[in-house]
Amino acid sequence: MAAGEMVIVGYRPHPGQAAELERLVADHVPILRRLGLATDRPALAMRAADGTVIEVFEWQPGGIERAHADPQAGALWARFAAVCDYVPLRELPEFGAMFAQFTPLAS
């Protein structure tokens, strides 16, 4: 079986949306798995000092491409857009350190 692709993504919550973002991140990968888009590899979620949530998970081979055509994935992404902005990881000070440290989110 072909390997999937690991992804690391940063979500900066809109004002007052941190709790909703954390709930959404907790549901995110399980939904992608039900859609056959993400692997069973354990996902990680953590918070940066500025409140940005970092998520690490693995797409199924071709999962990224299939997600763009999947209406349920599109609806999921619309929910993210309502509560956060995507953040390039280089904008987070933690990624300038030799060992980037974050606060784990409850799984």
pLDDT in tens, 62-106: 999 999 999 999 999 999 999 999 999 999 999 999 999 999 998
Q: Give the amino acid at 88.
A: P
Domain range 5-104, its CATH number among 3.40.50.150, 3.30.420.40, 3.40.50.300, 3.30.70.100 = 3.30.70.100
- State which H helix or E strand residue 34 sits in: helix 18-34
pLDDT in tens, 13-45: 999 999 999 999 999 999 999 999 999 999 999
Domain boundaries, the chain: 5-104
Residue-level length of the chain:
107
Q: Which of 62, 63, 46, 39 is nearest to 8 (CA)?
A: 46
